[in-house]
Structure 1
Amino acid sequence: MKRYILRRIIIGSVVLFSFAGCSDILEEKPHDFYEPGYFKTEQGVIQGLTSHYAHLRWIYGQAYYYNSVQTGTDEHTYAQSADGNFKDHDLSGVGVINPTSSRADVVWNNSYNDINTASGIIENGAAVGVANSLIAESRFFRAFDYFLLVQNFGGVPLDLGAGELKFNTKPSRSSKRNTVSEVYTKAIFPDLVIAVNELPDAPRLTGTATKTLARLYLAKAYLTYAWWLENPNNIPTYPDTPRTDPDGHNSQWYFQKAYDIALEGINNPGSYGLLDYYYDVNLGANDRNKEMMLYADHTEESEYYNGASLTYGSGGSPDNFAGWMGTWNYTAIRSKNASGASVSSVQRVADQFLGRPWTRMAPPIEVFTKTFADKTNDSRYDGTFTAVYRGNWNLKGTGLTDVTTLFNANSLAVTPNSAILTFLNDEPITAISYPSGAGDSGVGAGVLPGRSDYVISPQGISRIVYPGLWKLGPYRTDNDGGLGQPNAGSTRPFPIAKFSELYFVAAEAAVKGATGSMTARNLINVIRARAGKWRWDNNGNMAKNADNSILLTSATPAIIDINYILAERSREYYGEGYRWYDLVRTQKWNELAGTYSIGGSNYGQHTPQLVTRTIEPYHYLRPIPQGQIDLMEMSDAEKAAYQNPGYNN
């Protein structure tokens, strides 16, 4: 195992980074060769430290990892153009997760190099004059990576060849997995406690780690470990070990710790805080706002700093291309010109509402009928989805810039920026007239009397036509009145940690019995109060000054349960890569995602089909990647024992 890891750290073609003199950003400097002795220099430690932030790009925004934590949950199923990467993770009978197909391999393959880098910095930093506050960033990232690994795979190795949590410089091809409790109590908790104590209150540079960020991850780790100790649905762990804590604490002790640390973060926010409006949290023009505490960064300013092309998306790391997966082929929408010919009225453009279509992941109908049932008062639906597709045929480069009017549903005239296709908030009183196939709209959308826009209701959502994910859509300032670069990966930072999650962690711990100055209802109502405030109707494309905070907070149940917390988490973080972790942590995966409804894979198929997933207890852990198993020099029996149960067939 270690040779596989170390090849990436020591002799691989690796991009390292250094700090830019007086700048407040991280400056990247490529190195083709990175040998272990480099950590015994101040420059080596600093460049290795900065590489922590670069490694985030290889996981977050990587679409296949994104698929692994979204598809198969109550937030996503596979879409019409999905391949096996997506169908396997749906667990609905169209594919099987196995050690070769599991895309959790992205976590395995990109965490250990960063862990070993962190260990090198922790061991050598002080000796070469690096401040404890900088070394604490490596403490944070080593815990961050181990937390990702343990949630995906269960117990994982703490010894990479030189001893537990030691910097390893010599390749080794054997390995031993530690237990889940050992990973938490020997690695994650100690590193995060030190990080909380030694990191600064405010980020040293834009986007770097702070006390508040470390508190969030320590609270999340305590919360997740508490659930693991409790194990309410008797889900197996691996390596097999008693669900007991080596320090003698029970699950309730850890739920309380999660609550206490989360409250510390809320009460000592540093430079972070909640924005006034949910819309602004995910608005492209407002990226890197005070609510975003950690992100995988990108920029449109240069390919060098972006880490990927600004004009073409490769469909691989380190591009930020996760947002493509839930973008259906809206470019197939058609209207008619004055001569009656069909033309493309919604063209592909680098715009947050649109972007590059891949049609790999689709939201089930229940997302719109249950999770986001209130689309009028709660602003989070409008701040999450592209529900209205507007005409843009007049942009430069389309060949239609001189066309002022097209004809759409009911042969009614539309002009640029008119609604061409609308996903309705609710089922209309008058039945929608849908075509049997693609119809005049080109995408099987229906019509309602008197409306010039084609329409689809929540019950008409299918695997081929569905609302887009506005919150992850691209944002560019260089379109210059044209289509821009819609085929490039997104140049936006991919969000990883938000200040708002401290409220959710504390609320979940409170539901599980933790006590303190704020109840679960108090905590959730801070989030719901913000959700009720509107300054802009995103899909209506107009100003909206509304405050529904009292309405939303008064509707919050007096007694909140875990299902309510999970529903609120989905409304807040839909499509951001949280969902599989949430359902696995709380052991609610079967209950909340075991069935779903959606229409067919062809245009015009709007009749919902009920789909049942087969989620076995062993699915709560991902398989160790087959490539890792193959590289180890161990006996077949040892390799079989190394793999998580259920995946050796």
Structure 2
Amino acid sequence: MKKIQKHIKTWMKVALMTLLLTSCADLLDEQPRSNFEPGFFETEAGVLGGLTSMYAHLRYIYGQAYYYNTCQTGTDEVTYAQSADQNFLVMDLSGQGVIDASNSRADVVWSTAFSNINTASGVIKFGVEAGVSAELIAEARFFRAFDYFLLVQTFGGVPLDLGSGELEFNTNPVRTSVRNTVSEVYTKAIFPDLIAAVNDLPEVGRLTGTATKTLARLYLSKAYLTYAWWLENPNNIPTYPDVQRVDPDGHDAQWYFQQAYNVALEGINNPGPFGLQETFYDVNFAPNDRNNELLLYADHTQNSEFYNGGSLTYGSGGAPDNFAGWMMTWNYTVIRSSSSSSQWANDIESVRRAAEQAIGRPWTRMCPTIGAITNTFADKANDSRYDGTFTTVYRANTDKSPSIGGPIYNANMMEVQAGDAILTFLDEDPGQPITYPTPTSLGGNIGAGILPGRSDFVIAPSGVSRIVYPGLWKLGPYRTDSGDGLGQPNAGSTRPFNIAKFSELYFVAAEAAAKGATGPQSARDLINVIRARAGKWSWDNNENQERIEDNSSAMVAATPATVDVNYILLERSREYFGEGYRWYDLIRTQKWNELAGTYMIGGRNYGDHTPQTVIRTIEPHHYLRPIPQGQMDSMEGDNESYQNPGY
């Protein structure tokens, strides 16, 4: 089957002027664009061109590190790291700055989504008139709903009229805008488009990676679930534009929770070519990218810069590069070993930057909280997901060209070889005290600790800091063109950035069941499918060796008798840690302040292993991001009422 990747570059330069004037703003100068005319969509070739641009637009959101930061920093999973700039500091809500319309990097969504929505509206309107197949039109309907769903979660109510009428294709830029309510966005745009997509999309995509019934069912169930929470509003979080939380179709929150359950279960029971991978490791193992658990991704390739949409040798630090994985990668290249066995020489760079999944390019902008390591991933023996999420062992790669010859000595002045552990983040605080020597250079130049009889430096979970912490293995780079060398670690990742997974159908159904939906499978039944899979091991990243072990029974037995929303959120974090889900999970369930109002982390300096408790100030208005300043500046008249309150 041909891959959609082949067609992306041709059309990724083509986008639309919309009501919102984003084509004139500095925010999108990096994305070339021109106009679609209505006649363009009246042929199948034109529709295919428009659709290809819709897949290409995913690259400008997913893998874009500054938007990725808004989805993670400030949650119970992630805080800012030592080298964070203001983009990251303000998102933490811990006194490092204030989120406003100018610095909130949710502008990435606003400036990208509306252009794509307008393209989709053109395909839908003129493609239908030209007799283009319902399956192709359904792809456009999916993407219009996809973008509106992302927008309404992020900003609240957004405009359905881009200048030519609600959900109409627009070719004339205008300088006014009216925001629809949240309920209108769901009931007029998101639900109708996704229902049509479910009906008309094929079970098997027309190309590898294109939209299918299963994908549409996932998003329809997620939209029902999210809207149900919005209607219920358990913590009285304000909405905007301000409106009574009454469904125009007369349904209550419980009806929508039930719909979410029903649609998700339909997706599980009618998977088409999709399903769960055998182990959690298999899902995120780079050589197994684009496996059958993945329903949607922003694609990239190492085979061609033309089709990749970015350089294969250096990273631009901007879209459409996939550079999100750099953010939670600390500067491990500072680690030093010794060429001398008699005195600490501190002169061997034993872990060098390489285009390998366990390491990659360091930026030190984001780091996991201590609680994520100790509480979220409390079970590291049975549950494979901690090992399949983080890089916890940094190994010598001195054999890579240009190789480093001669003996190398590490902790306790013990000799190490290529492939041996140089630094290990321990699973638990050990029973015996760790010696953290001073000066920090005696701890491998990073203030790491020493345990008797071990050649690797060590850091306990309680010693994780903003400058030294486990990296995010699951988003690490992967290349097959490195030969015997270090490859191209400075380029953006050529891996796809995963957006939607089959596994989430189980989580959506479980959450709906925990909120009262009824059916053949309980919340516990559904979560245990995921937990049973998490107990199956095929490989141990920490030990760097095969591990054929099945702890499914222990995982299922450990599941509480009553699975509530908080437990489901813990499971979601274990399954999707660092993938950009967390902020949306916390605002949907209105659990953000409850679960992320405080966190623990060490300081910014090497050798700082004293955990600090940090308090966040999460206000109700933070549950919506500000409308970007570029949008506000583009509109005529007094637009104060357009902005979300609190900003």
Normalised by the size of structure 1, how large is the TM-score? 0.95
Is the contact between residue 195 and residue 214 of structure 1 (CA under 8 Å) also seen in structure 2? yes
Determine if the alignment matches structure 1 residue 414 to structure 2 residue 416. Answer: yes
1:49 is the counterpart of 2:66? no
CA distance in 2, matches of 1:169, 1:33: 7
The corresponding residue for 2:498 is: 495
Question: Which residue in the other structure is 1:379 paired with?
Answer: 384
Amino acid at match of 1:38: F
Please give the per-residue CA displacement for 1:97-153, whole angstroms capped at 9, x wherever unaligned.
Answer: 000000100000100000000000000112333211000000000000000000000
In the other structure, the counterpart of 2:513 is: 510
**Deviation string for 1:310-338 (max 9, x for gaps)?**
00000000000000000000000000013
Distance 2:38 2:328 in 1: 41
Match of 1:644 in 2: 644
334, 339, 347: which one pairs with 1:337?
339
Alpha-carbon distance in 2 for matches of 1:163, 1:619 = 31
**Residues 412, 584 of structure 1: alpha-carbon distance in 2 compared, 3 angstrom cutoff:** same
| Equivalent residues of 1:153, 1:624 under 8 A apart | yes
**5 Å matches for 1:474-493?**
474-493=477-496
2:11 corresponds to which residue? none
Contact kept in structure 2, 1:14 and 1:33, CA below 8 Å: no
SS of alignment partner, residue 614 of structure 1: coil
* Distance in structure 1 (CA, Å) of the matches to 2:177 and 2:129: 30
For 2:472, the equivalent position in structure 1 comes to 469
Given the superposition, is the C-alpha separation of residues 241 and 389 from structure 1 closer, same or farther in structure 2, using an over 3 Å criterion? Answer: same
CA distance in 1 between partners of 2:30 and 2:367 (Å):
36
1:35 & 1:7 partners in 2: Cα distance?
19
- Tell me which residue corresponds to 1:4: 21
User: Which amino acid is 1:523 matched to?
Assistant: L
- CA distances 1:432-490 after superposition (whole Å, capped 9, x unpaired): 11134522201110000110000000000000000000000000001101010000000
| Cα separation, 2, equivalents of 1:96 and 1:540 | 42
- Aligned letter for 2:392? A
**Paired residue secondary structure (2:202):** coil
1:118-137, aligned counterparts within 5 Å?
118-137=120-139
1:397 maps to 402
Corresponding residue SS for 1:530: helix
Partner residue of 1:77? Answer: 79
1:541 and 2:544 correspond: yes
- 8 Å CA contact retained: 1:409, 1:453: yes
Partners of 1:326 and 1:358 within 8 A in 2: yes
Query: Alpha-carbon deviations, 1:588-618, whole Å to 9, x = none?
Result: 0000000000000000000000000000000
Distance 1:227 1:237 in 2: 12
CA contact 1:83–1:360 (8 Å) conserved in 2 = yes
- Report the 3-state secondary structure (helix = DSSP H, G, I; strand = E; otherwise coil) of the residue aligned with 2:440: coil
The DSSP-based 3-state class of the residue aligned with 2:297 is strand
CA distance in structure 2 between the partners assigned to 1:47 and 1:12 by the alignment: 22
C-alpha distance in 2, partners of 1:518/1:150? 30
Matched, 1:630 2:633: yes
Match of 1:235 among 234, 237, 255: 237
- The 1:548/1:282 distance shift into structure 2, 3 A limit, reads same
Q: How much does 1:32 deviate? A: 5.7
Looking at structure 1, the residues matched to 637 and 308 of structure 2 have their Cα atoms a distance apart, in angstroms, of 40
Helix, strand or coil for the counterpart of 2:122? helix
Please give the alpha-carbon distance, in whole angstroms, between the structure 2 residues aligned to 1:536 and 1:499: 22
User: What is the CA-CA distance between 1:506 and the residue it aligns to?
Assistant: 0.1
Q: What aligned pairs does 1:216-235 form with structure 2 within 5 A after superposition?
A: 216-235=218-237
Q: Distance in 1 between matches of 2:257 and 2:30?
A: 43
Match of 1:424 in 2: 426
Following the alignment from structure 1 to structure 2, what is the Cα–Cα distance between the partners of residues 290 and 86? 34
Within 2, Cα distance between the matches of 1:376 and 1:6?
A: 51
Tell me the equivalent position of 1:356: 361
Letter in 2 for 1:469: L
CA contact (8 A) 2:43 2:132 kept: no
The secondary structure found in structure 1 opposite 2:348 is strand
Whether contact under 8 Å (1:105, 1:624) holds in the other structure is: yes
Measure how far apart 1:39 and its partner are: 2.4
2:510–2:526 contact (8 Å) kept in structure 1: yes
| 8 Å Cα contact 1:13/1:32 also seen in 2 | no
Identify the residue that residue 116 of structure 1 maps to in structure 2.
118
Amino acid at match of 1:379: S
CA distance, structure 2, for counterparts of residue 327 and residue 109 of structure 1: 27
> Pick from 342, 346, 354: which aligns with 2:351?
346
SS at match of 1:471: helix
Q: Secondary structure at the match of 1:89?
A: helix
**Match in the other structure for 2:215:** 213
Counterparts of 1:8-27 in structure 2 under 5 Å? none
Offset at residue 91 of structure 1 (A): 0.1
**Cα deviation per residue 1:490-539 (whole Å; 9 max; x = unaligned)?**
00000000000000000000000000010000000000000000111112
1:27 corresponds in structure 2 to: none
What do the CA deviations read for 1:167-219 (whole angstroms, capped 9, x no partner)? 01111110000000000000000000000000000111000000000000000
SS of the residue corresponding to residue 614 of structure 2 reads strand
For structure 1, the 5+ residue unaligned runs are 16-30
Matched letter for residue 45 of structure 1: V
Q: 1:541 to 1:629 in 2, by over 3 A?
A: same
Q: Given residue 171 of structure 1, which amino acid in structure 2 is its aligned partner?
A: P
Q: Deviations over 1:271-307 (max 9, x none)?
A: 1000111000000000000000000000101001111
Question: What residue identity is the alignment partner of 1:315?
Answer: G
| Range with greater deviation from structure 2 (564-573 or 337-346) | 337-346
Native 8 Å contact 1:12 1:33 kept in 2: no
* 1:203 partner letter: G
**TM-score of the pair, normalised by structure 2:** 0.95
Is the 1:12–1:32 Cα contact (8 Å) retained in structure 2?
A: no
Q: 1:574 deviation in Å?
A: 0.1
Query: In the alignment, is the contact (CA less than 8 A) between 2:600 and 2:612 conserved in 1?
Result: yes
Pairwise CA distance, 1:42: 3.1
* Structure 2 residue 181 is matched with structure 1 residue 164: no
Query: In structure 1, which of residues 554, 559, 563 is the aligned counterpart of residue 562 of structure 2?
Result: 559
Query: Contact 1:14–1:32 at 8 Å: present in 2 too?
Result: no
Q: Which of 233, 245, 248 lines up with 1:246 in the alignment?
A: 248
Partner Cα distance (2:90, 2:37) in 1: 39
In 1: Cα distance, 2:508 partner to 2:529 partner: 13
Kindly, what percent of the aligned residue pairs are identical? Answer: 69
Contact residue 261 and residue 513 of structure 2 kept, 8 A: yes
Count of residues in correspondence between the two structures: 624
The 2-side partners of 1:435 and 1:103 are apart by 40
Change (3 A) 1:598 1:436: farther
- Aligned-residue offset at 1:397: 2.4
**Structure 1 match to 2:317:** 315
Q: Which residue type is aligned with residue 644 of structure 1?
A: N
Residue 325 of structure 1 is matched in structure 2 by 327
Is 1:601–2:608 an aligned residue pair?
Answer: no
Q: Which moved more, 1:72-81 or 1:533-542?
A: 533-542
The aligned residue for residue 61 of structure 2 is 59
For the residues of structure 2 that align with 1:563 and 1:5, how far apart are their CA atoms? Answer: 39
Unaligned ranges ≥5, structure 2: 1-17
Q: Secondary structure at the match of 2:21?
A: helix
Contact kept, 8 Å, 2:38 with 2:126, in 1: the verdict is no
Provide the rounded CA distance (Å) in 2 between the counterparts of 1:97 and 1:436.
39
- Answer yes or no: is the 8 Å Cα contact 1:328–1:358 preserved in 2: yes
1:79-111 CA-to-partner distances (Å, cap 9, x unmatched) read 000000000000000111000000100000100
Evaluate the alpha carbon distance shift between residue 590 and residue 392 of structure 1 in structure 2; reply closer, same or farther with a 3 A threshold. same
